[in-house]
Amino acid sequence: MKKLSLYVFLVLMFCNVSFADNLKIVDGDTIVLNGEKIRFSGIDTPELKQTCMKGEQKVFCGMFAKMLLIKKIGNETPKCISEGKDAYKRTLAECFINGESLSGFLVRSGYAFAYRKYSKKFIKEEEFAKENKLGMWSMEFEYPWDFRKT
């Protein structure tokens, strides 16, 4: 069973997960929908290779954020509202499943942060996760924007 779990982890780590021909999950805050690369606006999730510490245990928090998004989307197709383009020419958007914001869900779960540098939209969700020690707030972690600098 451990070998199977490791295999699944490695496949998810190094591949985009496809649900249908029109949707790929790149990481916790980026998808490709109908060939368009979409970066969730207003949030930042840990990088895929980023780890956190829960006591003495290393947690692949970036991979967990991606897996949480995969589970939340399930077999649905997100509906996205474009907010323009970023410096990397990705579409910035807020995406929804059954009317629920994926960004809000990830932040409230503790596996994404309100990206205050660009938006104040998800601060309440982040405060909820922090107060309740959910997700990364129950661990030692580095903010994704700091992790990318190293």
> What residues does each domain of the chain span?
2-147
CATH number of the structural domain 2-147: 2.40.50.90
Task: Give residue 89's pLDDT.
Answer: 92
Task: Give residue 150's pLDDT.
Answer: 87
- pTM score, whole prediction: 0.86
Give average pLDDT by consecutive 10-residue segment, the chain, 150 residues: 43 46 93 97 97 96 97 96 94 97 98 94 98 98 95
Task: Give residue 21's pLDDT.
Answer: 62
- Provide φ and ψ at 103, rounded to 5°: -65, -50
Residue in this structure with the two tokens 């939340």, named with its chain if needed:
72
